[in-house]
Amino acid sequence: MEQFDKLIASLPDRHKTALRWFVEKTGSQRPWPGALPDGTILASKAQGIYKPKWSNYCLSIRQNLKSRYGDKDLQIRPDGTWSLVYAQEASDPKSRDADYANRSLIACMEDRIPIGVLKQISNTPVSRYLVLGVAMVVELQGGYFLIEGFATDGTFKIQENPQGLKIMAAIQERELNLAGIFDPESIVDAREKTLTSIIRRRGQPKFRQMLLEAYDGKCAITDCCVEDTLEAAHIIPYLGTETNIIANGLLMRADIHILFDMGMIAVDTSNMTLLVSPGLQGTEYSVLAGKHLRFPEDQNLAPSTEALNRHRLWAGL
């Protein structure tokens, strides 16, 4: 569980202990979980999304057999990973950010904090729950969170599994159709929807100009100097103007930017060389493996090592 341990390293001890309970109990069926010896509550009976008072992050989510929300079936894969499409609190997507429970899940998504997951499997004569284990919140679309679960060996990979995105795309398309709205974007392939989302995050001219100057107009990975193809890539995803800082950016050729945002490439900060997903083996991008990241001449403008580490952990490389 090395990857998991790194992801929770910054959390308070009680939060780590609670998440490790979900790891240890993965696959078990049990009644409602009681509090831990230190008094920490693991889940909420009042709401499916549980945010403890002592944290800004969600600790766990619960899926009930009979839910007023449109949660979708659990998808379990041969490698032990799994996905769950989980409805936000409040049926109106526009109300999402006003709800503290939703905000706590969004915080987990943005800061890459794992959550515990329970699924109700019976309600008579007493409620029983399957402990699915720990998972990452990786996407939010149309009022639904995509939850991607760790395999029992502690691995977590999202880039090889667009199935959850396909489910959400279908949900969104159906809801738009029922409302009599035609949205061409809603019917594109799930992978293309991901790319569309990436493109939508671009276009901060000032940020791009700063990176063009810092990297002398050359891609930090390929040395491409065709300015029209160069983009401002955020290492930690764009969350507002506060993330538009040089330390959180890399100047990249458009196709490299896409691969970086999809977690298909990452940087090993021990030697600042490129790591390439197995999914790119045999393609023209496989030659990038081991290539050194090019830094700005001004070392004060170098990318954040911590940000690069967090991106690599998320990518699973």
**Residues 3-59 pLDDT 10s:** 788 889 999 999 999 999 999 999 899 999 999 999 999 999 888 999 999 999 999
Residue 119 lies in a domain: yes
Using the predicted structure, report yes or no on whether residue 219 has a pLDDT greater than 90.
yes
pTM passes above 0.85: no
Last residue of a domain, one of 95, 130, 161: 161
**Higher pLDDT among residues 175 and 49, named by residue:** 49
Residue 148 and residue 213 in one domain = no
* Digit-coded pLDDT (tens) for 98-112: 678 889 999 998 898
Residue 130 and residue 237 in one domain = no
Say which range, 68-72, 161-165, 172-176, has the weakest mean pLDDT: 161-165
Query: Which residues neighbour 48 within 8 Å (Cβ) at sequence distance 6 or greater?
Result: 61, 62, 63, 64, 67, 69, 86, 89
Computed over every residue of the chain, the mean pLDDT equals 79
Residue 222 and residue 141 in one domain = no
pLDDT at residue 240, as a whole number:
52
pLDDT at residue 51, as a whole number:
95
Using the predicted structure, report yes or no on whether residue 198 has a pLDDT greater than 50.
no
* Digit-coded pLDDT (tens) for 237-248: 655 555 568 888
Residue 24 and residue 95 in one domain = yes
Q: List the CATH number of the domain containing 150.
A: 2.30.280
Alpha carbon distance 300, 52 (integer Å): 39
- Model confidence at 300, pLDDT cuts 50, 70, 90, reads confident
Residue 167 lies in a domain: no
Query: Which residues neighbour 251 within 8 Å (Cβ) at sequence distance 6 or greater?
Result: 211, 212, 214, 215, 217, 218, 219, 220, 230, 231, 232, 233
Using the predicted structure, report yes or no on whether residue 202 has a pLDDT greater than 50.
no
Percent of the chain topping pLDDT 90? 37
The domain total for the chain is: 2
Using the predicted structure, report yes or no on whether residue 188 has a pLDDT greater than 50.
no
Residue 180 lies in a domain: no
Percent of the chain topping pLDDT 70? 75
Structural domain of 102: 2-161
Residue 13 and residue 112 in one domain = yes
